[in-house]
Amino acid sequence: MTTHPKPTKKRFHILTLIFVSVIINYMDRSNISIAAFALSDELGITTVQMGLIFSAFAWTYTALQIPGGIFVDVVKPRILYTFILALWSLATLVQGFVNSFFSLLGLRASIGVFEAPSYPCNNRIVTSWFPESERASAIAIYTSGQFVGLAFLMPVMMAIQNYLGWRGLFFVSGSVGLFWALIWYLFYRDPGSHKKVNQAELDHIAEGGGLIDGNARKDEKSTFKWSDLKEAFIHRKLWGIYLGQFCLGSLFIFFLTWFPTYLVKYRGLDFIKSGFLASIPFLAAFAGVLLSGFFSDFLKRKGYSNAIARKIPVLCGMLLSTAIIGANYTNNTSLIIFFLTVAFFGNGLASIAWVFVSLMAPKHLIGLIGGVFNFCGGLSAIVIPVVIGALVSEGDFRPALFLIGALALVGFLSYVFVVGKVERIEVKNL
């Protein structure tokens, strides 16, 4: 009697590498918000200048999503991720030496440049390493890293700054990333070249729709063509997920930027209490994204179509996100936090939307489509903070919450009516 070897589980080791990389990614995005007060006082940076420093990352990060996606399609993840991780970590570390507004502005912009390919690369790796039946869970796990970074690392980074100063915070943050870049290079491999992956696991991935040979066209060296860029914009389905990602990002960026100000300035909470309460929605989002991924894959394993298994968590999340409007109709602090927590939980549920890139993008353009998708999400980081600032200039925050809630509804409608059937787009004449 012959026995078949059990599939190895190396894909979950790879997922761990991505998860930690996402935590470091968001640590290096958010450490400036912790250092801001101390460094602005020491360097004489005005509030207007600090606003520009905050936005510098989003401008370059968003602008380079499409070029970053192109790089993902033509450069192997082992090399690309090591390179960008080392460079954004070095830029983070060097912030500890700055003595002027312009040097800090340039370094923040450079971090956006080097982080730009990271999420398209994450998606490509998961598409290569995981069958469709496990992909939403994998995406949920690594996406949850951003909420871990925001909810749990804030106290850690505050403690580091308390002991080592704001310069020490940047030194430590950058050093962690440089060390992790080395770990990535040593341990990451694509499925087909990983020596510890057995054939049973490769078969499991490939039979389930995983692209174990990467995204490149068969029998052809992977190169960018201008016709590829056209493909990213001519399909209605893709516009549906692009619009949905902008709407999803709008709520997320509210919590990333205006949320503490909303609690302290517009709801009258003291700073210490607001810091504690602010962590609750982030924890809810963390729970939401994990629940979404595992529930989606559960439905998929039960035989439900992608239209049900993948869309239901995203649609439910978008609807729950509209709950943010409820905060406009109460002055009770507990109820305000409740409505915001429900909304951000919904945002977490909808955060597996990256799975639609894996399922719908042409196989050789997953990086490019992921870049456009993340570009649209990144636009919210540029547009929404400015629009909210204009809306609340008269001292009333209610119009801003109405805007966020309305955009969540638009995202829901986009997935229902614009995305339509979830299926891979086939490109002719490859």
**Average pLDDT of adjacent 10-residue blocks, the chain of 430 residues:** 72 94 90 79 79 82 86 90 96 94 93 92 90 85 81 78 90 96 94 86 85 54 66 90 95 81 77 66 89 88 86 95 97 94 95 86 83 88 82 86 97 94 76
Domains 9-208 and 225-430 share a fold: yes
Whether residue 91 contacts residue 32, with contact meaning beta carbons closer than 8 Å, is answered with: no
pLDDT, position 222? 53
Fold of 225-430: Growth Hormone; Chain: A; (1.20.1250)
pLDDT, position 220? 45
Alpha-carbon gap, residue 359 to 64, rounded angstroms = 23
For helices 118-129 and 132-151, the axis angle rounded to 10 degrees is 140
pLDDT, position 24? 94
Instruction: Sort 99 into a burial class: Cβ within 10 Å, 0-12 / 13-18 / 19+.
Output: exposed
pLDDT, position 244? 96
pLDDT, position 317? 96
Task: Please say whether the structural domain 9-208 has been given the CATH code 3.40.190.10.
Answer: no
Alpha-carbon gap, residue 79 to 60, rounded angstroms = 22
Alpha-carbon gap, residue 78 to 363, rounded angstroms = 19
Return the structure tokens found at 272.
């210490």
**Residue 399: count of CB within 10 angstroms of its CB:** 14
Instruction: Sort 175 into a burial class: Cβ within 10 Å, 0-12 / 13-18 / 19+.
Output: middle
Domain range list for the chain:
9-208, 225-430
Prediction pTM value: 0.74
